[in-house]
Chains A and B, each alone.
Chain A
Amino acid sequence: MTWFFFILLSTMTVGGALGVVSTRNVVHAALFLLVSLLAVAGLYVLLLTEFLALVQIFIYGGAIIIVLLFAIMLTRSREYPRISDNGQWPLAAVAALAFFGLLTASFVVNNPGAVERSRVPFATLGRSLFTDWALPFEIASLVLLIALIGAIVIARGEGKRA
């Protein structure tokens, strides 16, 4: 049963990703990205980390896809229905395949063997996040605040058009 879901979700993940990089329509690319990200959330459930799956669905499936769709809508131009790749795509394909081969080889060589998945309790994760990792947590919130202000300042423009 686990294998069935693993194969299904992996196919959806990689298939959605291939859709993102191959489709000619930007809106379709965003929807393919949504499929891929939700399938990754499913893989997180297979890894017994439901909290990460929820975060993945809320942040990626909700926020990031919506923001991407907004950007697509606001930057609509004549060329949008048909976007071409640039001239170096064969080189890019070779590089990506070579990198995939390298990664696969290193993963297979360094395989720790038959280790069982272990479940991290939700409460333990949260307690650790607010004790051991409190400082990085605060810095992360600061990063988000700065990104928010920066995005507003950059997108608003010179001020007279604001």
Chain B
Amino acid sequence: MIELAHFQIVSGALFAVGMYGVLARRSAVLVLMSIELMLNAVNLNLIASAVFIDPSKFTGLIIAIFVITVAAAEVGLALAIVLRLFRSRATINLDEIELMKW
């Protein structure tokens, strides 16, 4: 029988892969995609927990809906920033955007 831990391990793997992407990629768009992977891992974990543990209140499902909303807002804003960066610096390589790095 399929259990909560199976879904949670898949979500953990997804989160770890997204974390690797955020830490290792250089293009800002690819870092954003990795953040999307991490948000999806969180959603999967929330929904699995809601379905297996908390069926009468299903708080996890509601929070997952809000996470999806915030993810949509985040992608729109972040891509606007990426476009602006590309226009002013002609690169979206995160290593070269060092104005505020110490």
A-side residues, CB < 8 A to B, are 2-3, 6, 10, 13-14, 17-18, 20-21, 26, 29-30, 33, 36-37, 40, 43-44, 46-49, 52, 55-56, 59-60, 63-64, 67-68, 70-72, 74-75, 77, 79, 83-86, 88-89, 91-93, 95-97, 99-100, 103-104, 107-108, 111-115, 117-120, 124-125, 128-129, 133, 136, 140, 143-144, 146-148, 150-152, 154-155, 157
Contacts and interface: CB of A to CB of B under 8 A. Distances in A.
B84 A143 contact: no
21 contacts: A17-B18, A20-B37, A21-B18, A26-B27, A43-B44, A47-B47, A67-B75, A67-B76, A71-B79, A79-B91, A88-B24, A89-B23, A112-B53, A113-B3, A117-B2, A117-B52, A118-B55, A129-B65, A147-B73, A147-B74, A151-B80
- The secondary-structure label for the interface of chain B is helix
Interface in B50-90: 50-53, 55, 58, 61-62, 64-66, 68-77, 79-84, 86-87, 90
A119 B36 CA distance: 27
Contacts of B73: 143-144, 146-148
Interface of B: 1-10, 12-21, 23-27, 29-30, 32-34, 36-37, 40, 43-44, 47-48, 50-53, 55, 58, 61-62, 64-66, 68-77, 79-84, 86-87, 90-95
